[in-house]
Structure 1
């Protein structure tokens, strides 16, 4: 799946940018699934790997549009997994945090983020794209729906499940620190 990054405060992101992000990150996945699902049903088997993101369940501030697209891919994948199980079609959804890729090359970010994404990818990307691919294929082969490849992504996954309200409150408490970093 293709993916593009879009950041900024909710009220600062244009509707045009929202549409662009939704078109690439969500509709690209929908089109791919819509094309392959009938073919997989007809042949009696298949496998779908959708690329979401930990952003699909972390809901970090200043990533609203991106978060919405990735949570939609997560929900789509979960729904397809239940619908397609009887047809011997495996579904896996990949939910990484930072992975060194070109996602930000064509991303749209406020100028105050200048260099921040690259710095984060270089210094805090606990994995490589090759390692993520290998882990995803292993999880798919094992019949697992979710691939959450990094320790930070797993921590966020479990924190949100353990106490959703506390998780959101902690995000809000950490948000002023994020604003300090991006000033």
Structure 2
């Protein structure tokens, strides 16, 4: 896979870079000869490839983000690519999931990318170049029942990315949002909260998916190379996205069917509540 011509290897910072999609992206970037700083919560794990630098970073901490900015300025003299990949899984019906669960997922999935963009944008403006890549989800475009907190944060990341694409374009800064459907990763291990039924269903969809994190990472890097504003990684995602846009009645019927099945699994017949 060839990247566009530049004056040298790209300097890339990838959050959530010690596992899952983040690790797959870090590994591929290293294999392509890019300079990579992987960032994650723990001290350097064994999983991070030898060719990558590593920095502990909690995306909820502005102090950690400031430290990461200092690192890239001092070690590399700048940054070319920020991949806001760190995230957690969540799932729950609105009357079951707690507000503390909402606060957790908003802090990581939405405010994490916002902090990253906020932190590096002044540097990118100085350079008059740079690429912000925010990893959202198909759930940011297609909003099924029983996942309100997750859907809301991922939709927020889509909105953030579209906004910044227009806002930062005059400075030569590219912005992409990645919206993958389910793929095999360890994301389900971050599930927490009260709605165990939704979490079990989500974990099943992740662990039984046909695509791997490596498969998705290759498609994501191709989209980054082409500077695509929206990177869809699979046929299911494209069908759902375009179905919502161009066949809305069918999309609505499918979502109402999912909601009815969810209610039945919870032991409630929606028909009982009709007047």
Query: Residue 159 of structure 1: CA displacement?
Result: 0.8
1:52–1:73 Cα contact (<8 Å) kept: yes
Paired residue for 1:149?
233
Query: Residue 101 of structure 1: CA displacement?
Result: 1.8
The CA distance in 1 between the partners of 2:108 and 2:199, in whole Å, is: 23
How many residue pairs match? The answer is: 182
Q: Is there any run of 5+ residues in structure 2 with no aligned partner, and where?
A: 1-84, 268-275
Q: How does 1:1-183 map to 2 (within 5 A)?
A: 1-108=85-192, 110-113=195-198, 115-123=200-208, 125-179=209-263
Q: 1:29–1:84: structure 2 CA closer, same or farther, 3 Å change rule?
A: same
Q: Which has the higher contact order (CA 8 A, sep 6+)?
A: 1
Q: Is there any run of 5+ residues in structure 1 with no aligned partner, and where?
A: none
The CA distance in 2 between the partners of 1:81 and 1:127, in whole Å, is: 29
Q: Give me the TM-score of the superposition, normalised by structure 2.
A: 0.62
Query: Residue 107 of structure 1: CA displacement?
Result: 1.3
Larger Rg over CA atoms: 2
Q: Give me the TM-score of the superposition, normalised by structure 1.
A: 0.90
Query: Residue 114 of structure 1: CA displacement?
Result: 6.0
Of residues 125-134 and 35-44 in structure 1, the stretch that sits farther from structure 2 once superposed is 125-134
Say what the alpha-carbon RMSD is for the aligned residues.
1.9
